[in-house]
Structure 1
Amino acid sequence: MKPAIRNRARDRLDSKLASIKPIDSFARPPKGWVRAIRDAIGMTGTQLGKRLGMTAQGIVSLERSEASGTIQLNTLRRAAEAMDCVLVYALVPKTSLTEMVDHRAREIALRALGRVSHSMALEDQRVDRDLEKRIRNYIETALRDRDLWETT
């Protein structure tokens, strides 16, 4: 994907994801969403079980697996649909995607420039003192998006 297209896609995703922040407002209830919604609408485990073709004990197991984070997405989607709900699944970055990429690029640039500065100092060569300018230049000329996530 070309950088300009990737940047536009990143900006669109950032806008979309901003609408669901703060993420704390979507924290899973202690007993899980299935149990919370089922209780809120007054549906018994037996009634949900009938809708899903499961026993009441199967529903208890389903709710426990959701609360512990081991439920399969397909099972959670089926339970949601049985209660007239929609499963919404998203990966929400801790910061914006743009900030994430910028931070990583800066981290890599600082590491690389630190090595260059050290080598040049050993050779008694003058190093440009405008660090921010050097960082921007390194990011623009030496880094590609795909290089950002290589492990070092």
Structure 2
Amino acid sequence: MNSTGPPTADSEEVNIRIARIYRRVDGILCVHTKEDVEVTLEDSIQSYEAVVKMAAGKKALLLEFSGKGGIIQDKARDYWVAKRKDNPVIAEAIVAKSLAHKIMVNFLIRFLDAGREIKLFTKEEDAVKWLNTFRNKLD
């Protein structure tokens, strides 16, 4: 089953203004950002809190899909990147659709220390394969 399918029966799905967040059948947490949204600090906080809740006190792998269009405010970006303490995410794969998102993600990876592995992908399959290399580091 791919990430566009339903969440597993034993986990909830969280829908916030900017995204749909759920656990895939393989246990990877998934964030689907909606199209053409402006991500605010409040949105970033809600997204982070949903991921922490779904991780349920365990380390997690995160697969994120950026929506087409849209932007992320600097404070929102900085909040997510700076969340190191108590952040359950040990590896984050971002599947970007637009050139603007690819440029932004590459900037984050190169110049900001997120305290976790982050990598940009254009294909979901490649992102999942990379995330699976971190399974041995999960609780």
- Whether the TM-score (by the shorter chain) exceeds 0.5 is no
Higher strand share: 2
Calculate the TM-score normalised by the size of structure 2: 0.21
Q: Which has the larger radius of gyration?
A: 1
